Amino acid sequence: MRRFLSQIRLSYGQKLFLLATLPLIVAVAAISVVVADQSRELAEREIAALETQLIEAKKAELKNYVTQARNGFYFVYGNAAPDDAAAKEQVMQILAAMIYGDEGFFFVYDYDGTNLVSPRQTELINQNWLDLRDSEGTAVVAEFLDIARQGAGYLEHLWPKPSTGEEARMITYVTSFPSWRWAVGTGVFIDDVLQTTAAARAEVEHRVQRTFVYIGAITFGALMTVFLTGIFINIRERRLADAKLKELTQRVFDAQEEERGRVARELHDGISQLLVGVRYALDSARRRLEAGDAGAAETLDKGINHLSGAIGEVRRISRDLRPGVLDDLGLGPALKALTDDFSERTGIETEFNTVVFRNRLDPEAKIALYRIAQEALTNIERHSGATKVTIDVRGHKKGATLRIADNGRGLNATRNTEDGKTRPGGLGLRNMQERVEQLDGSLRLFSSRSGTVIVADVPLSHLLSPEAEATSEGKARA
């Protein structure tokens, strides 16, 4: 089972669909079970109340039958002696004639269990049925006699129907003629009551099943809505992602071309001219040496100076592409060298502040903050018209923060309508934003006519632990 589960690989969309549907399915299943149980319980109480009401009505009817019958021959029984055979015979004839409905009749048993009257089942007459039991094991006649000895009462039992001979449930009311030692009673079959309650229970079960069908249909509709919505959102997000990917790819290509153009211009305008100067100086010095001119040494000195300038230009371009001091000494010294070079090249007053930062940032964070500072200084040089720049970098308990401020003319910002965040316009500033977002950080921009402030925050997760720092420094020395 574990091996099977380990082989299942769900996509992000499938995980999202399961996350949305599983709680819904569980909730609907729980609601369905609760609704079904409550419905069944409520219906069962109502059906039981109905059954009790119907049976009580049957009992009252039986008691009324027996009372009326007793009143009909009480004048005979009341005036007869315990051994008056003629009176007994007259009463038995009266009871045998009292049949009602399709199944109703009166019966008489003496206290020994012998049947004396049974007009619809005459085969029982003059036989002792004291040991008679129904299919549920109830000693029916013995129970009749016990009820009669106690005065009167009801008994629910099974008894063969006179019309079919098949057992059916019956309620019997029994009273006694104590002086004659008789148990007299009548019963009524409660098939109609049982059929009514069974039909009610079937109707309840049908309603519960129908409720399940309705809930299932609603759940299926909800799941289909979630599924179709997920597909729509997935398609839309993919289209947006594709569009953003194309835009990002184009911007990467543009940035690459811009960087290649910048390097090409610097090579052509700087190093190429210096090397041409060196070539001309060396050529002139060779001709002077051949002519024995004493000024050849001066020409060689100019060539050496041009060559030194070319070497410095190569180092500057190399530093711009990837400063070695960033890997060797850390972010602070690299930013210090960058600001010093910026101030010397542009003449803009530059102030750099930091705390003891050492080399605690991971490589991704260091290069990202260095490129942000580099991009910001480039924008300041080209567009701001600033006369003073302040750069501050420091670590703190939440991570690291780089703050770059100038007193230039400021810049405009555009609003991203999808997430509602204010983001700076321009390729350089968008690159800053994307660099810091790759680190799960944030870039804030404050701009006005009195200047611009850029604040880049890197989370604590990009600060190396002392053990990782020692390992990083050991690799750097190696």
Instruction: Spell out the SS3 assignment of 102-114.
Output: CCECEEEEECCCE
Determine contact, residues 455/397, Cβ cutoff 8 Å. no
Question: For the ranges 85-99, 226-240, 304-318, 376-390, which has the lowest average pLDDT?
Answer: 304-318
Residue 295 in tokens? 């000024």
**pLDDT band at 130; cut points 50, 70, 90:** very high
3-state DSSP helix/strand/coil percent for the chain, to nearest 5?
A: 60, 20, 20
Q: What is the mean pLDDT of the chain?
A: 79
**pLDDT band at 357; cut points 50, 70, 90:** low
pLDDT: which is higher, 350 or 205: 350
Q: What is the pLDDT of residue 473?
A: 47
Q: What is the pLDDT of residue 111?
A: 93
Which contacts qualify for 144-151: CB closer than 8 Å, 24 or more apart? Answer: 144/109, 144/172, 144/174, 144/183, 144/185, 145/109, 145/111, 145/113, 145/183, 147/174, 147/183, 148/111, 148/174, 148/175, 148/176, 148/182, 148/183, 148/184, 148/185, 149/111, 149/176, 151/175, 151/176
Give the pairing type, strands 413-415 and 182-189. unpaired
Residue range 28-41, pLDDT digits in tens: 788 878 877 887 78
pTM over 0.75: no
Question: For the ranges 148-152, 318-322, 335-339, which has the lowest average pLDDT?
Answer: 318-322
Q: What is the pLDDT of residue 32?
A: 78
Question: For the ranges 102-106, 113-117, 317-321, which has the lowest average pLDDT?
Answer: 317-321
With CA atoms as reference, report the closest residue to 443 among 386, 383, 345, 376: 376
Q: Amino acid identity, residue 115? A: N
Distance between first and last Cα of the chain: 49
Query: How far is the C-alpha of 326 from the C-alpha of 333, rounded, in Å?
Result: 7
Ordered alpha helix ranges (H), 347-413: 363-379
**pLDDT band at 422; cut points 50, 70, 90:** very low
Q: What is the pLDDT of residue 117?
A: 92
Q: What is the pLDDT of residue 365?
A: 81
Question: For the ranges 61-65, 88-92, 109-113, 251-255, which has the lowest average pLDDT?
Answer: 251-255
Whether pLDDT at 421 is above 60: no
With CA atoms as reference, report the closest residue to 405 among 418, 388, 420, 383: 388
pLDDT: which is higher, 474 or 227: 227
Whether pLDDT at 474 is above 70: no
Region 386-406: what's the mean pLDDT? 87
Region 417-439: what's the mean pLDDT? 64
Q: What is the pLDDT of residue 420?
A: 41
Q: Which domains does the chain have, with CATH numbers?
A: 14-189 (3.30.450.20), 324-477 (3.30.565.10)
pLDDT: which is higher, 251 or 319: 251
Residue range 95-114, pLDDT digits in tens: 888 888 788 889 999 999 99
Region 78-91: what's the mean pLDDT? 86
CA-to-CA dists, residue 235 to 9, 15, 74, 231, 240, angstroms: 21, 16, 94, 6, 9
**pLDDT band at 215; cut points 50, 70, 90:** confident
Residue 426 in tokens? 């321009």
With CA atoms as reference, report the closest residue to 47 among 234, 269, 161, 195: 195
CA atoms within 13 A on the CB side of 211: 18
Q: What is the pLDDT of residue 129?
A: 93
Q: What is the pLDDT of residue 137?
A: 92
Where is mean pLDDT largest: 72-76, 149-153, 316-320, 381-385?
A: 149-153
Above pLDDT 70, what percent of the chain?
82
Instruction: Spell out the SS3 assignment of 99-149.
Output: CECCCECEEEEECCCEEEECCCCHHHCCCECCCCECCCCCEHHHHHHHHHH
With CA atoms as reference, report the closest residue to 464 among 328, 357, 368: 357
Q: What is the pLDDT of residue 476?
A: 44
Whether pLDDT at 262 is above 50: yes
In degrees and rounded to multiples of 5, residue 446 shows phi and psi of -125, 115
Ordered alpha helix ranges (H), 322-465: 324-328, 331-346, 363-379, 427-438
Above pLDDT 90, what percent of the chain?
14
